[in-house]
Structure 1
């Protein structure tokens, strides 16, 4: 969305406005209150775009749907341009209800002079009854890259961001730069956040061999993936009780895959009967959201009858949880990058996943992260860029004790705290956003 906004600004026929919906009041409201917060946020973004581009036009601060529509229409006429609204972070996995209101607004604001775009998570989004995703929008499917199908993407990222890791001299004879890039991309099932964090582990390494990559994968499983579950749990709202069953489900997948190695290569994909996936739909959504697995095929026939989707497992946890493949080999690298091995099948009867139990969900109660103490935002495996103990002490001395209070605090309030300037406030905002969103 940010890149689209940047490119659109070069056009003479379009006036793009980027709007991040990472705004706490939107998570805590519904109906008319949500609409008011949304319209104020949108009008503020339009005002900011006009100011940044030094366009001498005013845009009213709107708090209702009609005012924002009239304002956008008038602005389009004055600019003689089509307005494109780019809504980022529209979905929040732990708070789905307000999205029905959002997509009503999306549908209403869309016209021949205003185009709306929104980034959403498939399966996490409730569109409501008035919005039909295929009639009221054009759907662009942006999937995490599969290195078996696209073998150039991750090497290009490496060359652009880590040029040192793209040179042959830094690697042993058994690993090429392209193999290294694609293996890391495959290991994190195309998750760019995980890919960058994995690359960072090789910043100061003088020579990279298979044992170094193996160590990276094991460390990623220990200090990134499993802590990620702890980080995401309090931001899941009513779905927080599903984190533990999601962990059990993933561990069951790993346990049943690890002993089915062929020529020393453990299967890295699973084919699961569609009814099992339907029964555990939210668990699979959470695991895919966190990068533990990624859907590769929507439907494939199973040898035992029936059909189901194919999921790729992240290699970090696959190696960590598999005694037979805890040591990376050239054969495993070739097998996983080629993606030719048959996936392990999980059938409807006698499935190893039958022991997983999904608890009843509690009533809607908001996100528990907002009630957590600010001490929970300290530097840790879950928050590697978290707050220092001195920052936490100063926040508490200023009467800010919970994450919710910190998220709601105005910049002026934080700026009034001793030794807090723009840089520290920006860091605090970044940590708070990581805590509530992802």
Structure 2
């Protein structure tokens, strides 16, 4: 297949904003009034941390902030993805050296792109970087805004302490640092106080009640044919359809887009069609996430089995009343006692990051005493455990409106009594790096993975592992027969997806 055809196929498979070509970004992304508020905060003075799970839209918001600042000239902004393998494999002064070099190159490239006849003084350490940034702000007579994407990798938390130390050091009256992080980041370092040294913005959108039309707006913009009332059955409307899918995936934008893709081009959509979509999402989207994420969790890789078992136990707890009582609609939100969450904290972080659950409240009183956070669960996995596996309009109405009362899991309950946190090694490299490139084949885990032919060509060229593919120069890839620029881009994208969260 030639590169042109490959590029056309990839157009429907862009899963991450940072992988979207700049000339196509506007066509693939739209932003609500709620998003506009966040974008303004990302463009304003002061350090900001943008917190959200995988695929929640963090990168899109950072990139759009950069695009708007570049267009208006209100500040000199730099969007910088920290998807750089040496940063994952280093710490301390080595990490700082890589970081300063990357940022210096990114700033120089942005100056060139914007046609600024200003040279940025290359910096090798944080002190030199501070001085160079201050000089740049004076020369341009503008604030400098640095947007760090993919700053946090859940599998390697140790270098995060160095990053947040740099984040705090570089923030000044003339330089504003912003960064995207995942829920549950814990190792901020001793010098960085997350709430005093930054503004934290959560971008979870799993609540769709109260007249929120966010997902309806996305549907009309991205899938105008699905916003047509005529294609829906009598008891289903475009707004209900959009709200249900948004709630089903607990507000995760990437999962929402993938769910909508299953209906694109359909001339008729009914509740049984939505039923099938949710069940299929549970089977070929959510569970493959566990398979995909396991080898990139580093020291936390042994927790994947525990995370799977705990989530299954939560689902069983929510659906038990359907089998034992007269309840006909499963509870979709649960309060879990804080002692349990504390005991399995990293497991809950993994589940929240992957979009299996979304934390709705940090603490709520429980009927039996004590307090705990409230989690909303994804409706795809919930419906999979409902005895009938049948979606009804009554379920749709109640889940969208968040009507069912909260389930509770108490500290004295036996729900989690059989689970023990496995021992973790003090340090562990990401398992994905040493795996054969065959793991990058097109599959449920890697929807835009590599073909057997391309994997065979890589091996013939002596590129056998994921790490070797991640580190090989682009020029060497282009020397491989039947490998052109679009194929190289595809290889780089799938490697990024494999290594990064």
TM bin, normalised by shorter chain, reads over 0.9
Relative distance call for 1:300 and 1:360 in structure 2 (3 A) is same
Q: Distance in 2 between matches of 1:236 and 1:351?
A: 28
Shift in Å, 1:149: 4.5
The 2-side partners of 1:351 and 1:343 are apart by 18
SS of the aligned residue for 2:361 comes to strand
1:201-251 deviations in whole A, cap 9, x for unaligned?
001321000000000011001111101100000010000000000000000
How much does 1:260 deviate? 2.0
The CA distance in 2 between the partners of 1:189 and 1:433, in whole Å, is 24
Matched, 1:285 2:346: no
Residue 412 of structure 1 is matched in structure 2 by 475
Cα shift readout 1:123-147 (whole Å, capped 9, x = no counterpart): 1241100111122222223223311
Contact kept, 8 Å, 1:395 with 1:401, in 2: the verdict is yes
Report Cα offsets for 1:331-382 as digits up to 9, x if no partner.
1001101101111111111231211221010231210000010000000110
Post-superposition offset of 1:155 = 0.3
Q: C-alpha separation between the residues in 2 aligned to 1:135 and 1:365?
A: 32
Question: What CA distance in whole angstroms lies between the structure 1 residues aligned with 2:248 and 2:456?
Answer: 39
Q: Hey, what's the Cα distance between the residues in 1 that align with 2:289 and 2:210?
A: 28
- Contact 1:91-1:125 within 8 A present in 2 as well: no
The yes-or-no answer on 1:210 pairing with 2:271 is yes
Rounded Cα–Cα distance in structure 1 between residues aligned with 2:211 and 2:457: 49
CA contact (8 A) 1:144 1:294 kept: no
Q: 2:176 aligns to what?
A: 115
- TM, length-normalised to structure 1: 0.97
Q: Is the 8 A contact 2:321 2:327 kept in 1?
A: no
Tell me the equivalent position of 1:95: 156
Q: 1:397, 1:311 → 2: CA distance?
A: 49
Residues 1-400 of structure 1 correspond to what in structure 2 (within 5 A)? 1-149=62-210, 151-261=212-322, 264-324=328-388, 326-400=389-463
Shift of the alpha carbon at 1:413?
A: 1.6
CA RMSD of aligned residues (A): 1.2
- For 2:126 and 2:369, locate their aligned partners in 1 and report how far apart those are by CA, in whole Å: 52
Shift of 1:311: 0.6
Q: Secondary structure at the match of 2:286?
A: helix
Maintained 8 Å contact 2:90/2:159: yes
SS in 2 for 1:140: strand
Distance in 1 of aligned mates of 2:342 and 2:205: 22
Q: 2:201, 2:395 → 1: CA distance?
A: 34
Task: Give distance in 1, aligned partners of 2:428 and 2:377.
Answer: 32
Q: Which structure 1 residue ranges, 5 or more long, are not aligned? A: none
Local SS of the residue matching 2:321: coil
Structure 2 distance, partners of 1:124, 1:388, is 36
Q: 3-state DSSP class of the match of 1:363?
A: coil
- Alpha-carbon deviation of 1:73? 1.7
Q: Which TM-score applies when normalising by structure 2? A: 0.85
Could you tell me which residue of structure 2 aligns to residue 402 of structure 1?
465
After superposition, what is the alpha-carbon deviation per residue over 1:110-134, rounded to whole angstroms, capped at 9, x for unaligned?
A: 1111111111123124110011112
Higher relative contact order (CA 8 A, sep 6+): 2
